[in-house]
Amino acid sequence: MPAPASDALEPRDVPELVKLVAAAALCPLLITNRLQSEGGHAAQDEDRRLAILDAAVGTGVPAMVDIEMMTESRLAGPVIEAAHGAGVAVVRSWHDLSGTPSQQTALGALRAMQDALADVAKVVTTPVIPEDVLMLLGAGLLARRMFLEIPCVLMSMGPLGAVGRFGGHFGSDLTFAVGLEASAPGQMDLDLVRRVLVALGLRAPAGEP
């Protein structure tokens, strides 16, 4: 069952909801409350948006929390501190919904995320031509060789970017797949993603460690 929209939630209600979702999901949770400009469903008051995340990480239940780099430092900082204090990993993210930046910009974003105390760096782009997908994969490989010391997520959205969702050999450590309902263009069925990852040597076959 999908969680209620964040505009129907009060921060005080979040801990109970997070615990219920975790019990039903039977898998690690990644908590997000996305900025509308980066794919969120609706505009929100920023203080309240971050208060919801703070309430979620305070439970210590989520495995990770995603905080956009565009979030004001005065709001992001306390949530990051609370997350780390509760043993919740912090994903710092940037979602370009209109196109694909230059390789220099992508590298700068990954470096900034690492400098901003991210445990995981995430860059998502919208490709227009095949070269856009290659650029992001190349940026991940270059970042890993030059400076990146934390896991990262590199994804190009939509059908054109689907191949980039299997970029483990290019420095991307995580990918996203559809369980019940897609949350972004280009996401594929979970079972299909698992099979492709096994075929590419990026995941052990079922039953193997």
C-alpha pair distances (Å), 129 with each of 14, 106, 122, 145:
41, 17, 21, 26
pLDDT of residue 206: 74
Q: Which of 19, 41, 84, 95 is catalytic?
A: 95
Domains and CATH numbers, the chain: 1-95 (3.20.20.70), 124-209 (3.20.20.70)
pLDDT of residue 7: 53
Residues linked to residue 77 through DSSP beta bridges, in sequence order? none
pLDDT of residue 50: 96
95 is catalytic: yes
Q: Considering the entire predicted model, what is its pTM?
A: 0.85
Cα angle value 109/114/118 (rounded, 5°): 110
Q: Closest by alpha carbon to 69, among 38, 100, 102, 31?
A: 38
Per-residue pLDDT of the chain (209 residues; tens, 9 = 90+): 344 454 578 899 999 999 999 998 878 899 999 998 888 888 899 999 999 999 999 999 999 999 999 999 999 999 999 999 999 999 999 999 999 999 999 999 999 999 999 999 999 999 999 999 999 999 999 999 999 999 999 999 999 998 888 888 888 888 877 766 766 777 777 888 888 888 888 888 876 65
pLDDT of residue 2: 42
Q: Which of 19, 41, 84, 122 is catalytic?
A: 122
122 is catalytic: yes
